[in-house]
Structure 1
Amino acid sequence: METVRFTVPGAPKGKARAKTVRSKKGGTFSYTPEGTMLYENLIKCCYRQESNNIIFNDGQPLKVTIIAYYPIVKSTSKKKKQQMLEDLMFPTKKPDIDNIAKSILDALNKLAYRDDTQVVTLHMEKHYAEDPRVEVEIEEIKNG
């Protein structure tokens, strides 16, 4: 069974909603904000570097584990920082965990798998770390 692990460096980012604007001709159109596009491109690059170009088979059920490590604010006291690093305190702040998952899963569409509908199990966690990042693991689930 195939498994791919990769890390996206930097603070976790959630998927922003598409923006809808009116055109000069009176119609409307939607576009993905630039920050979201840049983050999704970073995710794609990180996947390509670690995956050996693995594409999970169409229809193959997948389990995805996403662990988001949030930065610790520099002004945090030593005591509080230690509690954060020991998982005695968790990041209950934005981006929301579901928006982080959306950025990761959408970025990997047509790259790691045909569509994120193949993801049947999703495990997510939020922690603090001195080196903010998002760790992702994709693994096949055996059919039958």
Structure 2
Amino acid sequence: MLTETVEQQQKTQAIRFVVHGRPVPKARPRMAMRGRTAYVYKDEKTREYERLVGFIAKQACKRPLKGPVQVNIRLFSMNDFDVDNVAKSVLDGMNKICFKDDNQVTALYVSKTKVRTEKEERAEVEVRPLVN
């Protein structure tokens, strides 16, 4: 039974794409006051990176996957950062594009590799539907 599930998963088509450039960790929400009103906003770098991920993901994803998905993210950067923060930026960028909501992600694998030049910096992303 387990063998059938693994074989079925291997047959399912994975969605793959590469986001060239330095991976951007998700920044904490910022707070500001306008008069007596407080508001929360996203850091501009984070917002731009999520848009870039979404733009590239749209080219690879025909429509959002249904059901549980596995996401593999390979990060290549000259900088040090927490992989979980970059993963959040990538997942938020793919939201409503590769999957309906990031709560569908039931398996997440993230790795980072140090590179020597800016040209080598990138995020390689793979999204795969999981078979129940």
Measured against the shorter chain, the TM-score band is 0.7 to 0.9
Paired-residue identity, %: 33
Question: For 1:45-56, what aligned pairs fall within 5 Å after superposition?
Answer: 45-51=55-61, 53-56=62-65
Question: For 1:1-144, what aligned pairs fall within 5 Å after superposition?
Answer: 1-24=12-35, 26-51=36-61, 53-57=62-66, 60-71=67-78, 93-94=80-81, 96-129=82-115, 130=117, 131-143=120-132
Normalising to structure 1: TM-score of the pair? 0.77
Deviation at 1:49, TM superposition (A): 2.0
Deviation at 1:32, TM superposition (A): 0.8
State the alpha-carbon separation in 1 of the partners of residues 56 and 100 from structure 2. Answer: 18
Structure 2: runs of 5 or more not aligned: 1-11
RMSD between aligned residues: 1.3
Indicate the structure (1 or 2) with the bigger Cα radius of gyration: 1
Aligned to 2:59, the other structure's residue is in SS state: helix
Deviation at 1:112, TM superposition (A): 1.2
1:81-101 Cα offsets, whole Å, 9 max, x none, are xxxxxxxxxx7x22x101011
Q: How many residues align?
A: 118
State the alpha-carbon separation in 2 of the partners of residues 2 and 61 from structure 1. Answer: 14
State the alpha-carbon separation in 1 of the partners of residues 63 and 124 from structure 2. Answer: 17
Higher relative contact order (CA 8 A, sep 6+): 1
Structure 1: runs of 5 or more not aligned: 72-90
User: Is the Cα–Cα contact under 8 Å of residues 24 and 45 in structure 2 kept in the other structure?
Assistant: no
Aligned to 1:39, the other structure's residue is in SS state: helix
Deviation at 1:38, TM superposition (A): 0.6
User: Is the Cα–Cα contact under 8 Å of residues 73 and 125 in structure 2 kept in the other structure?
Assistant: yes
* Deviating 4+ runs (over 4 angstroms): none
Deviation at 1:102, TM superposition (A): 0.4
